[in-house]
Amino acid sequence: MAEKKIQRKSLLSAFWTWYHGNLLFFTHQHMQTFPFLVAMINPLKDLYSDPDDLHHALETYEGFFNVEPQLGTIIVGICCGLEEARANGAEDIDEEMINSVRVGLMGPLAGIGDSLIPGTYIPILLAVALGLAEGGSMMGPIFYIVAYVTTMTGFMYYIFMKGYELGGKAVEVIVGEQANVIKDSIIMLGMIVIGAVAGAWVSVTTALEFKTETGSFLTLQGVLEGIHPGILSFLTVIFAWWLMTKRKMQPLTVMLIFLVIALVGVLLGIFDPGLSY
- Mean per-residue pLDDT, 70-94: 85
Question: Which domain does 96 fall in, by range?
Answer: 8-194
Q: pLDDT grade, residue 181 (50/70/90)?
A: low
CA–CA dist 76, 81 (Å, integer): 9
Distance CA 67, CA 56 (A): 24
* 61, 172: one domain: yes
- Collect all residues with Cβ–Cβ distance below 8 Å to 184 and sequence separation of at least 6: none
Both 130 and 14 in one domain: the answer is: yes
* Strand runs labelled E in 155-236: 209-211, 217-219
Instruction: Indicate the residue type of 178.
Output: Q
Tell me the pLDDT band of 23, cut-offs 50, 70 and 90. confident
Q: Do residues 270 and 207 make contact, with C-beta atoms less than 8 angstroms apart?
A: yes
- 188 and 215 inside one domain: no
Do 143 and 226 have their domain in common?
no
Compute how many other C-beta atoms are within 10 angstroms of the C-beta atom of residue 68. Answer: 20
State the maximum Cα–Cα separation within the chain, in Å, rounded to a whole number.
100
Burial zone of 67 (CB within 10 Å; 0-12 exposed, 13-18 middle, 19+ buried): buried
What's the total number of domains in the chain? 2
Q: Does 137 map to a domain? A: yes
**Do 132 and 263 fall within a single domain?**
no
Residue 277 belongs to a domain: no
pLDDT in tens, 105-120: 787 788 778 778 887 8
